[in-house]
């Protein structure tokens, strides 16, 4: 799995690419947890995340608990497979998952 | 061994090729240089030769022309001197006659005799008359007076061999002549022949010009060879009285001309003002003596010669190149004023510049000698160089072999040492002291051996440690598996349901577990769960979860409190859960009497239910409660469905649906339910699990199992 981090002030955006399984979950834990000091907003981009295992869920839970203390965390662009896992495990109720923004309709004022 | 030989060979090749190339280059440069110098020397010699011929030729030419002119002048003077003797004689003769005739009072008349036969061969003065004289007596006074000249005539003739005859001819028709040919003065009848002086050219010319003249050269009537007559008028009291003359042989002049030998080819000649050659050393060609006076040299076929003749007749002094019969000559000429002749001396041009040419040839010869000497020198040097090169190459080859051997020796030692180290003797120390890179290499090898030794010691320790841990993990795995109910049939007394469960752990200990037990005679509890993560932490958390769940279940009094079991377990698991472990749990409870199946889902995969009445499979629509251990104080909702006889519930962990094949395709819910649909309902639950497992294996097709595969099936009979 590939982890791409974008830091903008106190806003950290982490894009996950590939599979978040038992092995890569450890990588994500190490990589992101240490970057969280002074972060107010953490955004996890799941656009290219194909799969999430229970070990990955554990890291999401851990990150959520850390961010509960210092700011907010949200997950964006969750695909169908991952969304199913999050919903089944009840994580979707605990985590802030932002719906993919629907394309805005153009309004014309004549 | 092969590598060492290669290094050795390469060293040799390097040394040898460097030497050969250097020596070849040196040799080529030397030989080329020598040939260059030789060529230069040859070229320079040739040029010097040409320049020498050219320069000295010019010098010689100008010098010899000067010489030639000098010779011409000298010879001309000699000829003039020779002729002047004659001239002087005539001047004296004519003035003596003038004196005698003008002063008759001091001279007495002398008898003059006519020619006598017996006087032939004797020098005698003789008197002869012209045929025109009619009165000889009238002339006797003048003849007697003129007789006083007889002694002078005699002496004049006698004084010089070149004088053939001398005479005085009066205008009045007599001549007194001194010669030795008295016998020729007679005609065929024995009478004394008349002498017609007036008709003679010398008389006509001298009387006409009234001055001393020379006649043309004629063949002497007396047979003395070429002859010239000098004549001058004499006077009586200022009036022309006659002509005094003298015939002279030109032997001396001829001799002077013939004696004019200049070098091998030089010669002289004299021409008169008619262009006729009078005297010449040549006997043929344009320059041969023109005895008959027919050829005019000015009209010669050789234009240069004709030109020279013009200059000569003009009385000039000088020199010029001419060509005679295709041969180049230089001609120098000087005038002979009294006779209006000109003397010329010639010499061949080749002879003039012969010394220059021979000098040039000598230089060329020297150059050739030098070049030949250089050639032999060059040959010697080349041979010496080649021999030197061969010797050097031999020396370099031998020393190269020895040197490379010396280079290679430490490498051999190194190789032997390394082989010993490789065979396991890590205490071996390489002892190479060559002071070069190879020593450095051996030092590095020693350091490496030390490192290797340390590393191997560490590795031994670590391996032992790892083995211990692996053993412990194995034990842990066994404990974990032994925690699960594994005896089937589990409840031989209960025929009203069939239950079977299996867990295929992945390589390391995992977090899946299942559980089933009877709460009482009427209630069967089934559980399937999956702890997040793997390894020892997951295994420990699984043990705790299983234990707590079972404990709370066992203390439950009212089936309605089934959800509370989960809630309590969750709270229990959340305490001190710093590792953020959690577990997904599906737990259900079957009322064996009614078939009521009460269940709570804690974030687990929804099980599949089979309705025998409709022969359909479907995923149970479970409430999406949160996992256990993740968050405290979560209320879990319980649900229930009714299981008729023959209905079954199939429970599984995500190890089933998320099994991957090599193309990384998930097995998935759809494949799972399709697989179940193919299951023969007459078979047992044990067979069902095997059937599903076989289908999963078929999908995975040999790929590594990444997660525990745990299943539990329950059918109401």
User: For residue range B365-409, what is the model confidence (pLDDT) as tens digits?
Assistant: 888 888 888 888 888 888 888 888 888 888 888 888 888 788 788
Closest CA to B535 of A21, A22, A33: A22
Closest CA to B599 of B697, B527, B545, B665: B527
What is the chain B residue with the closest CA to A20?
B533
Contact B438, B432 (CB under 8 A): yes
Cα angle A47-A45-A32, degrees, rounded to a multiple of 5: 135
pLDDT band at B291; cut points 50, 70, 90: low
Contact check, Cβ <8 Å, A88/B626: no
Shortest alpha-carbon distance between residue B627 and chain A (Å): 6
Name the residue among A61, A88, A92 with its Cβ closest to that of B580.
A61
pLDDT over 70 (residue A109): no
What residues of A are in contact with residue B705 (Cβ under 8 Å)?
none
Residue B619 has a pLDDT of 93
What is the chain B residue with the closest CA to A62?
B580
Half-sphere exposure of B662 (CA within 13 A, CB side): 4
Residue B662 has a pLDDT of 85
What residues of A are in contact with residue B509 (Cβ under 8 Å)?
none
pLDDT band at B642; cut points 50, 70, 90: very high
Token digits of residue B461:
């320790």
Closest CA to B533 of A79, A29, A92: A29
Residue B1 has a pLDDT of 46
pLDDT band at B649; cut points 50, 70, 90: very high
Chain segment B660-677, per-residue pLDDT in tens: 888 888 898 899 999 999
* Predicted ipTM beyond 0.85: no
Query: What value does the mean pLDDT of chain B take?
Result: 86
Preferred mutation among B631, B659, B669, B704 to probe A, highest tally of A CBs within 10 A? B631
Cα–Cα distance measured from residue A64 to residue A71, given in angstroms and rounded to the nearest whole number:
10
What is the chain B residue with the closest CA to A89?
B603
Task: Please give the backbone phi and psi of residue B494, each rounded to the nearest 5 degrees, phi first.
Answer: -100, 105
| E strand map for B360-508 | 497-504
Q: Where are the domains of chain B?
A: 484-716
Name the residue among A22, A25, A90 with its Cβ closest to that of B603.
A90
First to last CA, chain A: 50
CA torsion angle B312 B313 B314 B316 (round to 10): 20
Shortest alpha-carbon distance between residue B672 and chain A (Å): 16
pLDDT over 90 (residue B501): yes
pLDDT over 50 (residue B602): yes
pLDDT over 90 (residue B695): yes
pLDDT over 70 (residue A103): no
Residue B404 has a pLDDT of 79
Chain segment B128-170, per-residue pLDDT in tens: 999 888 888 888 988 998 989 988 888 888 887 788 888 999 9
Which letter does DSSP use for residue B645 in this model? T
What residues of B are in contact with residue A89 (Cβ under 8 Å)?
584, 603-604, 624, 626-627
Shortest alpha-carbon distance between residue A89 and chain B (Å): 3
Residue B220 has a pLDDT of 65
**Domains of chain A, earliest start first:** 2-98 (3.30.750.24)
Name the residue among B511, B624, B658 with its Cβ closest to that of A87.
B624
What residues of B are in contact with residue A88 (Cβ under 8 Å)?
603-606, 622, 624
What residues of B are in contact with residue A63 (Cβ under 8 Å)?
none
Name the residue among A51, A54, A87 with its Cβ closest to that of B532.
A54
The more confident residue out of B498 and B300 is B498
pLDDT band at B286; cut points 50, 70, 90: confident
Average pLDDT (B682-701) is 93
Residue B164 has a pLDDT of 82
pLDDT over 80 (residue B232): yes
Contact B500, B684 (CB under 8 A): yes
Chain segment A63-73, per-residue pLDDT in tens: 888 888 888 99
pLDDT over 90 (residue B591): yes
Contact check, Cβ <8 Å, A61/B630: yes
pLDDT band at B650; cut points 50, 70, 90: very high
Contact check, Cβ <8 Å, A54/B584: yes
What residues of A are in contact with residue B706 (Cβ under 8 Å)?
21-22
Query: What value does the mean pLDDT of chain A take?
Result: 84
Phi-psi category of residue B676: left, alpha or beta, with phi > 0 → left and psi -120 to 50 → alpha: alpha
Contact B71, B332 (CB under 8 A): yes
Contact check, Cβ <8 Å, A87/B626: no
Average pLDDT (B337-352) is 84
Residue B379 has a pLDDT of 86
What is the chain B residue with the closest CA to A84?
B605
Which letter does DSSP use for residue B705 in this model? P
Q: What is the DSSP code string of B147-163? A: GGGHHHHHHHHHH-TTE
Chain segment A73-94, per-residue pLDDT in tens: 999 999 888 888 888 888 888 8
Chain segment B64-122, per-residue pLDDT in tens: 888 888 888 888 888 888 888 888 889 999 999 999 999 988 888 888 888 988 888 88
Residue B458 has a pLDDT of 92
Residue B221 has a pLDDT of 62
Residue A101 has a pLDDT of 57
pLDDT over 90 (residue B651): yes
Preferred mutation among A53, A86, A89, A92 to probe B, highest tally of B CBs within 10 A? A89
Residue pairs between chains A and B whose CB atoms are closer than 8 Å = 66
Shortest alpha-carbon distance between residue A28 and chain B (Å): 13
Most confident of B245-254, B282-291, B519-528: B519-528
Q: What is the DSSP code string of B479-508? A: HHHHHS---SSS-TT--SEEEEEEEE--SS
pLDDT over 90 (residue B17): no
Shortest alpha-carbon distance between residue B677 and chain A (Å): 23
What residues of B are in contact with residue A54 (Cβ under 8 Å)?
511, 530-533, 582, 584, 654
Q: In what order do the strands lie in the sheet with B277-280?
A: B277-280, B267-271, B341-348, B327-336, B318-324
Contact check, Cβ <8 Å, A22/B533: yes
SS3 assignment for chain A: CEEEEEEECCEEEEEEEEEECHHHHHHHHHHHHCCCCCCCEEEEEEEEEEEECHHHHHHHHHHHHHHHHHCEEEEECCCHHHHHHHHHCCHHHHCCEECCCCCCCCCCCC
What residues of A are in contact with residue B580 (Cβ under 8 Å)?
58-59, 61-62, 65
Contact A62, A28 (CB under 8 A): no
- The answer as to CATH 3.60.40.10 being correct for domain B484-716 is yes
In chain B, the percentage of residues whose pLDDT exceeds 90 is 26
pLDDT over 70 (residue B2): no
pLDDT over 50 (residue A110): no
Average pLDDT (B289-318) is 84
Residue B425 has a pLDDT of 83
Contact check, Cβ <8 Å, A51/B531: no
Longest dimension (CA), chain B: 228
pLDDT over 50 (residue B224): yes
Name the residue among B581, B622, B658 with its Cβ closest to that of A58.
B581
pLDDT band at B527; cut points 50, 70, 90: very high
Contact check, Cβ <8 Å, A88/B603: yes
Chain A residues within 8 Å of chain B (Cβ atoms) = 21-22, 25, 51, 53-55, 57-59, 61-62, 65, 87-94
Name the residue among B530, B631, B666 with its Cβ closest to that of A94.
B631
Long-range contacts of A93-98 (CB under 8 A, 24+ apart): A93/B624, A93/B626, A94/A61, A94/A64, A94/B626, A94/B630, A94/B631, A95/A60, A95/A64, A96/A72, A98/A74
Contact A28, A4 (CB under 8 A): no
Average pLDDT (B572-600) is 91
In chain B, the percentage of residues whose pLDDT exceeds 70 is 98
Contact check, Cβ <8 Å, B580/A21: no
Cα angle A89-A90-A93, degrees, rounded to a multiple of 5: 150
Name the residue among B533, B631, B706 with its Cβ closest to that of A58.
B533
Continuous segment of H or E residues that includes residue B285: none
């Amino acid at each position: 799995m590939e982890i791409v981090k974008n830091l903008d002030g106190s806003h950290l955006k982490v894009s996950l690419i590939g599979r978040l399984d038992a092995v890569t979950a450890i990588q994500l834990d190490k990589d992101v947890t240490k970057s969280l000091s002074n972060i107010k907003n953490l955004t996890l981009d799941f656009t290219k995340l194909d799969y999430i295992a229970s070990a990955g869920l554990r890291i999401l839970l851990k990150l959520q608990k850390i961010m509960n203390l210092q700011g907010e965390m949200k997950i964006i662009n969750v695909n169908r497979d991952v969304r199913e896992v999050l919903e089944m495990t009840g994580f979707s109720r605990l985590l802030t998952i932002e719906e993919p923004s629907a394309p805005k309709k153009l309004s014309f004022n004549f | 061994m092969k590598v060492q030989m290669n290094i050795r060979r390469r060293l040799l090749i390097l040394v040898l090729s460097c030497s050969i190339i250097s020596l070849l280059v040196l040799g080529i440069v030397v030989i080329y240089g020598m040939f260059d110098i030789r060529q230069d020397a040859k070229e320079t010699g040739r040029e010097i030769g040409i320049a020498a011929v050219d320069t000295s030729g010019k010098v010689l030419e100008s010098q010899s022309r000067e010489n030639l002119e000098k010779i011409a002048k000298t010879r001309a003077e000699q000829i003039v001197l020779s002729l002047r003797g004659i001239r002087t004689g005539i001047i004296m003769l004519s003035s003596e006659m003038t004196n005698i005739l003008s002063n008759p009072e001091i001279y007495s008349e002398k008898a003059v005799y006519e020619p006598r036969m017996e006087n032939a061969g004797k020098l005698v003065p003789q008197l002869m008359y012209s045929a025109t004289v009619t009165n000889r007596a009238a002339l006797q006074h003048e003849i007697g007076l003129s007789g006083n000249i007889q002694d002078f005539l005699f002496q004049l003739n006698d004084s010089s061999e070149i004088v053939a005859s001398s005479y005085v001819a009066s205008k009045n028709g007599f001549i007194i002549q001194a010669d030795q040919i008295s016998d020729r003065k007679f005609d065929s009848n024995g009478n004394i022949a008349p002498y017609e002086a007036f008709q003679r050219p010398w008389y006509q010319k001298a009387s006409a010009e009234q001055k001393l003249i020379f006649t043309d050269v004629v063949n002497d009537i007396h047979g003395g060879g070429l002859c010239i007559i000098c004549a001058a008028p004499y006077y009586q009291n200022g009036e022309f009285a006659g002509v005094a003359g003298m015939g002279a042989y030109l032997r001396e002049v001829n001799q002077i001309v013939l004696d004019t030998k200049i070098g091998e080819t030089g010669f002289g000649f004299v021409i008169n003002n008619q262009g006729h050659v009078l005297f010449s050393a040549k006997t043929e060609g344009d320059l041969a003596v023109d005895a008959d006076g027919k050829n005019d040299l000015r009209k010669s076929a050789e234009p240069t010669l004709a030109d020279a003749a013009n200059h000569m007749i003009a009385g000039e002094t000088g020199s010029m190149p001419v060509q005679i019969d295709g041969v180049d000559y230089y001609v120098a000429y000087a005038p002979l004023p009294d006779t209006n002749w000109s003397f010329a001396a010639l010499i061949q041009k080749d002879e003039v510049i012969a010394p220059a040419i021979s000098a040039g040839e000598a230089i060329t010869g020297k150059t050739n000698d030098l070049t030949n000497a250089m050639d032999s020198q060059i040959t010697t040097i080349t041979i010496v160089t080649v021999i030197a090169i061969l010797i050097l190459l031999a020396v370099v080859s031998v020393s190269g072999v020895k040197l490379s051997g010396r280079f290679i020796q430490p490498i051999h030692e190194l190789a032997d040492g390394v082989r010993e180290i490789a065979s396991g003797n890590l205490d071996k120390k390489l002892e190479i002291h060559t002071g070069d890179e190879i020593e450095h290499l051996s030092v590095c090898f020693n350091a490496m051996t030390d490192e290797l030794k340390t590393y191997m010691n560490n590795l031994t320790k670590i391996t032992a440690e790892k083995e211990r841990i692996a053993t412990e993990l194995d034990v842990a795995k066994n404990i974990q598996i032994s925690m699960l109910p594994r005896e089937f049939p589990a409840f031989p007394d209960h025929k009203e349901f069939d239950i079977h469960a299996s867990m295929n752990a992945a390589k390391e200990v995992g977090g899946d577990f299942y559980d089933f037990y009877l709460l009482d005679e009427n209630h069967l509890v089934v559980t399937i769960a999956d702890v997040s993560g793997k390894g020892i932490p997951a295994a420990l958390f699984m043990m705790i979860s299983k234990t707590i769940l079972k404990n709370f279940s066992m203390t439950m009094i009212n089936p309605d409190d089934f959800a509370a079991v989960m809630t309590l377990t969750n709270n229990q698991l959340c305490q001190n859960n710093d590792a953020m472990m959690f577990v997904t749990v599906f737990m259900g409870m079957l009322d064996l009497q009614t078939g009521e199946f009460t269940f709570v889902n804690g974030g687990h995969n929804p099980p599949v239910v089979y309705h025998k009445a409709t022969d359909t499979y479907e995923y149970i629509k479970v409430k999406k409660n949160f996992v256990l251990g993740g968050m405290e104080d979560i209320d879990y909702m319980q649900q229930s469905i009714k299981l008729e006889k023959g209905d079954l519930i199939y429970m599984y962990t995500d190890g089933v649906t998320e099994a991957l094949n090599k193309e990384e395709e998930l097995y998935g819910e759809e494949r799972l339910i399709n697989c179940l649909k193919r299951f023969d309902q007459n078979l047992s639950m044990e067979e069902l699990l095997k059937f599903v497992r076989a289908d999963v294996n078929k999908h995975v097709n040999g790929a590594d199992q990444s997660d525990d595969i745990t299943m539990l099936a329950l059918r109401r009979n």
